[in-house]
Amino acid sequence: MKKRPILAIAAAALAFTLALTACGNGNNKPNEKADSGNKEKASNTQTAEPPKLDPNAKVTIEYWQYEFPAKVELINELITQFQQEHPNITVKQTNFPYDQYNQKVATLVPAGKGPDVINLYYGWLPKYVASGYLQPLPEADFPAAEIEANFFPFVETAKLNGGYYALPTGVRTLGLFYNKDLFVKAGLDPNKPPATWEELVTYTKKLTELDDKGQFVVEGFGWEPGSQLHHWFRDGLLYQAGAQDTSEDRKKLLWNETPAGLEAFKYLIDFAKEHKVGINGFYTDDANAFKTGHAAINVDGSYRLSSIKKDVPDLNYGIAPLPSYKNKSTQASFWANAIPSNVKGDKLAAAVEFLKFLTSKGVQEQWVEKIGELPAQKEVALQDKYINDEKLGPFIAQLPDGRAHFFIDETQERTLFVEAVDQVLLKDVPIEKAFEDLITKTQKLYDDYWAKK
Amino acid sequence: MERVIDSTPVESGGRTEPTPKGSRQRQRRLPLIGGVRLGLRGKRYLFIYGCLLLPLLFFAAVRLLPILYSFNVSFREWAILSPDKPFVGFANFASLFQDEVFLGSLRNTAVYVIVGVPGQIVAGLAVALLLQRITVLRTFFRTVYFIPYITSVVAVSWVFRWILMKNGVANGILLELGLDPQPFLYSPSQSIFWIIAAMIWQSIGFQMLVFLAGLENIPRLYYDAASIDGAGSWSRFRHVTIPLLNPVILFSVVIASIGFLQSFTQVLNMTGGGPLNSTNSIVLYIYNTAFKSFEMGRASAATVILFVIILAFTVLQLKVLDRKVEY
């Protein structure tokens, strides 16, 4: 009598547990069909004729991007503009949270239900192309020579197997955010941000404010390894110190090829370890600490402009290019629009039209004004009205020095970096050893990836 | 169900009993396949079975099949985007047991269970015992203690994160008291215990409710008898309350163990598994492998391992803890 209900409850609980732990995998089932489907698609995309849209046909195409309110809003506006110019094309926008993006593509595209134009992070492109999910952009509509003449050089990361698979509307670079009020308070000239590695250290020391118990009141530097520091290291500091990220074929990490790599790594860690001008977890993270006036200087992306404008419109801050050392360099990144391999016929023609529209000069101008992402085309970006803009100017000035590093696995590479930093800070592991371990572990990710190719 | 049907008047002359096999009425009543018309009773049957079947189908399609399917996935190299999913045998399992991060997450999960389950049971039981003794404001306290349980886990996790951050309230209090500030969630040796504390705090209400119900079911008679025999309050607790509460404790332990074996939301929101993987749990490892690295094969293999652990654990608990109670 006593035993049964308990057993029953336990069994029910167990079943429920199983259901919970396994439910994540339910999404994969349709993938099975991918095998045959993709091979078929891969073969008939290589010879794609320039698509012609039947002027009488009514076409509906679907556009996918991740959920970012400002972008969703602007795309809706742009769709209205586009549909006025192309009355026979209807564009439907669908949004997914960033985390679900890849799952949705992997399940819906093979089932023939995916988008006709899709917005992807540049770091994902190699995986997407290798898996056969994308078709190269038709050469007749998007000639490679023209792209290379018009777009900034790092857009070439979207060129795979000799062809372009995606094009961005807007791009982002890392820059230096600095709080002008805190500069004045520390006796620094708010119109003279630090321009070199050395100056950055001196400035952040002066800007750091501790209370009588030695706790941070203001960090001189918003130091958060889990945010942008990893990118700053790979595309900024490494090159500035005279090192390189990877070999040309992207197979080998070159961080320790010269002493410059270690110098860059040490420079970054020393803000927390030696100079003690910033620490992780202060006001939860660097962006929040900066917004609330508790971090005086922060390395962050141009995408932060719009959220600062929205959250703390009165923050008195300035933007400067990243401080340089032996060279100038910054991280560039972008979301790009691509066409899945199963889009054909009228839909392909309409998708091409929409993609042309999205990368056009007019749209790029609206994009920078509403979203704050920088125009991907030189001609648009390098207009006086943007170069001379107090906030956008420094980001744009850095575009020619922008680098977009290759990813195998964004999360894992970032996690390894954060761990290496934690080893030094929390376990007193020598910087040299943490650095070597980091390279070994990251290189293993690369080796595993290329071994499967 | 039988009774319901029996007492229902049927269209054929008001007969209330289903006739035995072979009769004409039976043919008219049964829902027949192939276009034969259904009687009222047939329709009723169809409706009842339909109601029962639909959720079952849904459960099978949405829960059962994916569970079985994940066993299949665990034996394949299944990168979410790649078109080929080759069969690789036990390679995923082998690589998991060579992965320091996975092994670490197994160890951490053991800590979650070993520290968390007793903590949660003791705290829940303590609150229940205290509440049982008061009559004034009892409902009020019960409600207050139960509120955390129905509060969003994500919100609670972030509140804890803010309290425990470097310049947070907790450190403010320590400094006021003249004590050294603590790294809390930023220390590889401390952080897991703070997460467990948050988990216990949030589930006290649930355990309390279960124990209160259990305590109500213990007849006063036994306590009175024990008192007459000269048993003190500890004796009464030890020899009356605990044995009679055993089934409830078993239930609580099983539920709490499963909860701690599945530690995820608090970990993800409070530390993300860090620092240095010191708080990483199996479920968080599964989540990261599946939805950040998109290696479904390895993630499913980890799911299967977790399944085996939970199964073994539950069976063991039923065997060890579920002893017959003599009244």
Residues B68 and B193 in one domain: no
Tell me if chain B has a CB within 8 Å of the CB of A43. no
**A9 or B256: whose pLDDT is higher?**
B256
Percent of chain A with pLDDT over 90: 64
Would you call A31 and B85 a contact, using CB atoms and an 8 Å cutoff?
Answer: yes
What pLDDT does A192 receive? 94
Nearest residue to A167 via CA among A182, A186, A152: A152
d(CA B324, CA B327): 10
Tokens representing B50 are 């339909």
Would you call A34 and B291 a contact, using CB atoms and an 8 Å cutoff?
Answer: no
Read off the pLDDT of residues B136-145 as tens digits, 9 standing for 90 and up. 898 999 999 9
Residues A219 and A159 in one domain: no
Would you call A38 and B287 a contact, using CB atoms and an 8 Å cutoff?
Answer: no
Residues A320 and A270 in one domain: yes
Would you call A21 and B175 a contact, using CB atoms and an 8 Å cutoff?
Answer: no
Out of A6, A31, A410, closest to residue B251 by CB: A6
Strand pairing category for A317-320 and A330-340: unpaired
**A222 or A284: whose pLDDT is higher?**
A222
Instruction: Using DSSP, state whether A65 is helix, strand or coil.
Output: strand
Asked if A264 contacts A237 with a C-beta cutoff of 8 angstroms, the reply is yes
What pLDDT does B78 receive? 84
Q: Is residue A236 part of a domain?
A: yes
Q: Where are the alpha helices (DSSP H) in A95-158?
A: 101-108, 125-130, 144-150
Tell me if chain B has a CB within 8 Å of the CB of A1. no
Which chain B residues have a beta carbon less than 8 Å from that of A226?
Answer: 272
Tell me if chain B has a CB within 8 Å of the CB of A103. yes
Would you call A409 and B292 a contact, using CB atoms and an 8 Å cutoff?
Answer: yes
Q: Is residue B189 part of a domain?
A: yes
- A323, pLDDT greater than 90: yes
Sheet strands (E) in chain B: none
> How distant is the Cα of A62 from the closest Cα of chain B, in angstroms?
20
Tell me if chain B has a CB within 8 Å of the CB of A87. no
d(CA A290, CA A293): 5
Host domain of residue A109: 46-172+333-403
Q: Is residue A78 part of a domain?
A: yes
Residues A110 and A167 in one domain: yes
Read off the pLDDT of residues B57-112 as tens digits, 9 standing for 90 and up. 999 999 889 889 999 999 998 887 777 788 999 999 999 999 999 999 999 999 99
Residues A303 and A354 in one domain: no
Q: Is residue A387 part of a domain?
A: yes
Tokens representing A60 are 């509906």
Which chain B residues have a beta carbon less than 8 Å from that of A281?
Answer: 165-166, 185-186
Would you call A13 and B277 a contact, using CB atoms and an 8 Å cutoff?
Answer: no
Tell me if chain B has a CB within 8 Å of the CB of A429. no
d(CA A172, CA A373): 6
- Please count the residues of chain B: 327
Residues B32 and B99 in one domain: no
- A7, pLDDT greater than 70: no
Strand pairing category for A166-179 and A330-340: antiparallel
Asked if B9 contacts B16 with a C-beta cutoff of 8 angstroms, the reply is yes
Q: Is residue B245 part of a domain?
A: yes
Which chain B residues have a beta carbon less than 8 Å from that of A284?
Answer: 161-162, 165
Residues B133 and B249 in one domain: yes
Host domain of residue B30: 2-74
How many independent structural domains does chain B possess? 2
Instruction: Using DSSP, state whether A171 is helix, strand or coil.
Output: strand
Tokens representing A9 are 């409850």
d(CA B273, CA B195): 10
Residues B49 and B183 in one domain: no
Residues B127 and B254 in one domain: yes
Residues B148 and B246 in one domain: yes
Residues A79 and A151 in one domain: yes
> How distant is the Cα of B148 from the closest Cα of chain A, in angstroms?
21
Would you call A22 and B66 a contact, using CB atoms and an 8 Å cutoff?
Answer: yes
Residues A347 and A424 in one domain: no
How many independent structural domains does chain A possess? 2
Question: Nearest residue of A to residue B182 by CA position?
Answer: A215
Q: Is residue B178 part of a domain?
A: yes
Interchain CB contacts (distance < 8 Å): A and B: 164
Q: Is residue A16 part of a domain?
A: no
The ipTM estimated for the assembled molecules is 0.74
